[in-house]
Amino acid sequence: MTPDISLPRLMESLRSLGQVGALDGGGVCRLALTDADKAGRDWLVARMEGLGLTVHIDAIGNIWGIRAGHSDTAPVMMGSHIDTVATGGLYDGALGVLAGLEVIATLNAAGVETDLPLAVAAFTNEEGARFAPDMMGSGVHQGALDLSEMLATRATGGTAVVGEELARIGYAGTAVPFTPAAYLELHIEQGPVLEVEGLRIGAVTSVQGIHWTEVTVTGQTNHAGTTPMALRRDAGQVGFAIARAADAIAARLGPPQVATVGVFELSPGLVNVVPGTARLTVDMRNTDGDVLDAATEELLAEAQALAQAAGCTIDIRPLARFAPVVFDAGLVDKVARAAEARQLPTRRMPSGAGHDAQMFAPNCPTAMIFIPSAGGLSHNINEHSDEDDIGAGAQVLCDVVCDLAGAQI
């Protein structure tokens, strides 16, 4: 049996980092490469050094600490991120990094050595809230994103540049990225499934494919009182119908298909003016890439038809097209069995959100461990996970890592 992690020590660690960039009323703001992010990084590096890890920083600012193993091979890596959205919670990202540190602390305290080295990593700008795209650090680390291009990225709605900000906060390093022996990420679910089903551990099988599409409908601005219905070219009503169609497609296809219209803007946006323009976004996701492609295709055809029938024109702009990512079946199995061995009710499930883990999946055995999010809330200062679930997730992480790294128990 692997040693037991210390929940009080892990909670202290989460609360301590949670004070860096803390918001009045709860939650944290550690937008990537801001002063608050730098403070969080400094905190993390100090903790890593305190645990005896050798700290490395690469050119995109990823931080990882290595605990040596008996063999001088690629390490088993635990990782996630410590940047947050503007109104983030304490656990999104931070849990995966700090649970990694807790595994190290547990092995240190128990005097357990491993055949393979262990690594704990925090990747730069996972959220994408300040600089797009998201998963920037892990993407560069695993070769999916181009370093020079990412360093030149300008802040969304701002003037800051990634490379300059990295230099400014002192996190433009020179360490060379590598492919780990395996990658494991503990994360809050950020959705309601585990809580609703009364489960405590999710063995994540895959990350859903994601299609983001922006649809702009152009009709004719007209007076709401003087323009008969039959003479209108109402861009708003076409937009509303497209939004309803997205919902209907997801309902018809059934789980795991989801569709969300999160942005909807009318112009000129006045009570008594028939809208001349509607702009909306549709976020569609599915673990099956073919079904997702067909769903998006169906929606866009229907959008075209709706616009044409109303005398409007339509402009369709794909904002994102990510194919689904499938995690390593053997490693997912290890996660599920480790949870069962600890008597933790578990299920296999896809991830609806993107995570750093997906950047590793093409290159090495990769899996994720989910714990419940209260009410499914995330990217919200009221984001919460129960301490018992936090402890359970960290324990499963520890158990699987000990297995993978050949812990000398």
Neighbours of 336 (CB within 10 A): 22
Minimum gap (Å) between residue 226 Cβ and a second copy: 3
Radius of gyration from C-alpha coordinates of the chain: 23
269: alpha, beta or left, given left = phi > 0 and alpha = psi -120 to 50? left
- Return the DSSP state at 144: S
Q: Which stretch binds a second copy (CB under 8 A): 75-83, 93-101, 145-153, 246-254?
A: 246-254
Q: Is 230 in the site for a second copy (CB under 8 A)?
A: yes
Please report whether residue 273 would count as binding a second copy according to CB under 8 A.
yes
Residue 400: count of CB within 10 angstroms of its CB? 27
Instruction: Select 108 or 308, whichever has its Cβ closest to a second copy.
Output: 308
- For position 271 contacting a second copy by CB under 8 A, the verdict is yes
Query: What does residue 66 show for φ and ψ, rounded to 5 degrees?
Result: -110, 135
Please name every residue paired with 369 in a beta bridge, in sequence order, or none if there are none.
186, 203
Binds a second copy (CB under 8 A): choice among 163, 256, 365, 393: 256
Q: Is 327 in the site for a second copy (CB under 8 A)?
A: no
Please tell me the count of residues contacting a second copy according to CB under 8 A: 65
Among 26, 133, 173, 352, binds a second copy (CB under 8 A): 352
Residue 229 CB: number of other CB atoms within 10 A? 8
Burial of 390-399, coded b for 16+ CB within 10 Å and e otherwise, reads bbbbbbbbbb
Span of 38-46, 63-71, 151-159, 257-265 interacting with a second copy by CB under 8 A: 257-265
State both tokens at 57: 């920083």
Q: By CB under 8 A, which span of 145-153, 168-176, 255-263, 333-341 interacts with a second copy?
A: 255-263
- Looking only at residues 136 through 195 of this chain, which bind a second copy when binding is defined by CB under 8 A? 189-193
Task: Please return the burial class of 53, using the count of CB atoms within 10 Å of its CB with bins 0-12, 13-18 and 19+.
Answer: buried
Q: Which residues bind a second copy (CB under 8 A)?
A: 189-193, 196, 208, 210, 212, 220-231, 234, 236-237, 240-241, 243-244, 247, 250-251, 255-266, 268-275, 281, 283, 285, 319, 351-354, 375-380
